[in-house]
Amino acid sequence: MDDAEFLKLSDACLAKVAKWLEDLDPDEVDFSAAEGVVNIEFADGAKFVLSRQSQMKQMWLAAGAHGFHYKWDASRATWLDDKDAHELYPRLAEAISEQIAHPVTF
**For residue range 25-77, what is the model confidence (pLDDT) as tens digits?**
999 999 999 999 999 999 999 999 999 999 999 999 999 999 999 999 999 99
Map out the domains of the chain as residue ranges: 3-100
Enter the pTM of the model.
0.94
pLDDT on residue 49 = 98
**DSSP letters along 77-92, please?**
TEEEETTT--BHHHHH
The C-alpha atoms of residue 33 and residue 18 are separated, in whole angstroms, by: 7
The beta-carbon contacts of 68-76 under 8 Å, at least 24 apart in sequence, are 72/1, 72/6, 72/9, 74/1
**For residue range 37-50, what is the model confidence (pLDDT) as tens digits?**
999 999 999 999 99
As its CATH architecture, domain 3-100 has 2-Layer Sandwich (3.30)
